Chains A and B, each alone.
Chain A
Amino acid sequence: QVQLVQSGAEVKRPGASVKVSCQASGYTFTNFDINWVRQATGQGLEWMGWMNPKSGNTGYAQKFQGRVTMTRNTSISTAYMELSSLRSEDTAVYYCAIIIVLPATVPPYWGQGTLVTVSS
């Protein structure tokens, strides 16, 4: 079965960077894009971007361009999301997710989430 296991919680100072990992299992890692979605406490879901594990191609939401970098290590079936120049508003749970459009019948798979706290 498909599993996405994320790295543990992080506490960072404003201005620092954070790198969250997402290890995939139960399927061929290069078959599906990995998306990153975040959720600030008490707030909504916010799609951040996607990465194609086969090619390494990426696409980021306009809001995060210039601050987010999504990469992967195919030898260990792991995707990474790095967010730089952190500010307090970046305090959130970060999820990796597989969102399959075709076939549409397959529901998304989610990691368990990684809490990133930005505080001085």
Chain B
Amino acid sequence: DVVMTQSPLSLPVTLGQTASISCRSSQSLVHSDGSTYLNWFQQRPGQSPRRLIYKVSNRDAGVPDRFSGSGSGTDFTLKISRVEAEDVGVYYCMQGTYWPSFSFGPGTKVEIK
């Protein structure tokens, strides 16, 4: 199984500042088709997960452009610019490269200072 790790696990952020979350995989996430299937999810308290980013850097429909993803190979980053109160929640990276097997990172809890 591909192991996903994240840091930090807890991230207090001041409103309006930038939050940055790192995600690493135990194996390269470059698929044989050349794409990298790394996704980011947001889970607000009491809600089901919602995907924000797919294939490293593509935002899903309706996701504010304050959210951006980057990275390659085994190292990836999610940045949240101009953090707002509604961004509080837990953020997970998830690999889909080794579909049909998937794996999630442990999650990073974003809270407002």
Greatest chain A CB density within 10 A among B48, B55, B107 is at B48
* Contacts across chains A and B counted by CB atoms under 8 Å: 57
Contacts of A45 in B (CB 8 A): 41, 43, 49, 92, 94, 104, 107
Name the interface size band of chain B: 20 to 34
Q: Which residue of A lies closest to B54 (CB)?
A: A104
Contacts of B104 in A (CB 8 A): 37, 44-47
| Contacts A95-B48, A104-B37, A110-B48 given; does A44 touch B106 at CB 8 Å | yes
Contact for B101 among A37, A44, A46, A50, CB less than 8 A: A50
Q: How many residues of A contact B (CB 8 A)?
A: 22
A62 vs B103: C-alpha distance when bound (angstroms): 11
Chain B positions 35 through 46: 1 when the CB is less than 8 Å from some CB of chain A, otherwise 0? 101000101000
Contact for A104 among B35, B94, B100, CB less than 8 A: B35
Are the C-beta atoms of A101 and B37 separated by less than 8 Å?
yes
Considering the complex, which residues of chain A in the window 28-77 have a beta carbon less than 8 Å from any beta carbon of chain B?
33, 35, 37, 44-47, 50, 52, 59, 61-62
Are the C-beta atoms of A108 and B51 separated by less than 8 Å?
yes
